[in-house]
Amino acid sequence: MERIASFCVDHTTLKRGVYLSRQDGDVNTWDLRMKEPNKGDYLTTGAMHTLEHLFATYARNSQYGQGVIYVGPMGCRTGFYLLTRGLTDAQVLDLIQKSFAFMEAFEGDIPGASERECGNYRDMDLAGAKREAAAYARVLEGLCPQKMRYEA
Ligand SMILES: [Zn+2]
């Protein structure tokens, strides 16, 4: 089998940020890298799961909701995937910045965190999710649309 494109990114030099991973027709896949790979610091499953519920809920309800195809966690627990359609790079960055500001400040019941709605609803960590959202929000502050590309 051929090695898929995302494995061709050199994970030894990756910095935190937002990177365009793939373009499939009009669908863009973005890598939201919240942790540097293989540095011993990863999202916990509870924090990541909570971020997933909050991020997906916010993104789909945002002004950009029609352009959001998918939000989901990376299995390596270093970030998230975001698939969009019809959004400019600047709109994607705005969406991500607003999403993480929302998550950083979130209080209350986690959307979808019930036995009926989720496959592991007890595995939630809102405090951890808020800490991770806050840390990544600082990374996002330093980004601009032109930086959202992997180095060739
Ligand atoms: Zn869930």
pLDDT recorded at residue 6: 79
The Cβ of residue 23 has, within 10 Å, a number of other Cβ atoms equal to 9
pLDDT recorded at residue 152: 64
Instruction: Tell me the C-alpha distance between 67 and 89, whole Å.
Output: 12
Q: How far is the CA of 120 from the centre of ligand 1 (A)?
A: 6
In this prediction, residues 2-13 reach a mean pLDDT of 84
Q: What is the gyration radius of the CA atoms in the chain, in angstroms?
A: 15
Domain ranges in the chain are: 5-141
Q: How far is the CA of 119 from the centre of ligand 1 (A)?
A: 6
134, pLDDT greater than 70: yes
pLDDT recorded at residue 8: 81
pLDDT recorded at residue 10: 87
pLDDT recorded at residue 5: 78
Q: How far is the CA of 145 from the centre of ligand 1 (A)?
A: 30
pLDDT tens by residue, 82-128: 999 999 999 999 999 999 999 999 999 999 999 999 999 999 999 99
Q: How far is the CA of 49 from the centre of ligand 1 (A)?
A: 6
CATH number of this structure's domain 5-141, picked from the four choices 3.20.20.70, 3.30.1360.80, 3.60.15.10, 2.40.30.10: 3.30.1360.80
pLDDT recorded at residue 16: 97
What is the model's pTM? 0.95
pLDDT tens by residue, 33-86: 999 999 999 999 999 999 999 999 999 999 999 999 999 999 999 999 999 999
Q: How far is the CA of 10 from the centre of ligand 1 (A)?
A: 30
Contact criterion met (CB below 8 Å) for 88 and 26: no
pLDDT recorded at residue 22: 94
Find all residues with CB under 8 Å of 152, minimum gap 6, and list them.
none
Contact criterion met (CB below 8 Å) for 151 and 15: no
In this prediction, residues 9-22 reach a mean pLDDT of 93
Q: How far is the CA of 144 from the centre of ligand 1 (A)?
A: 31
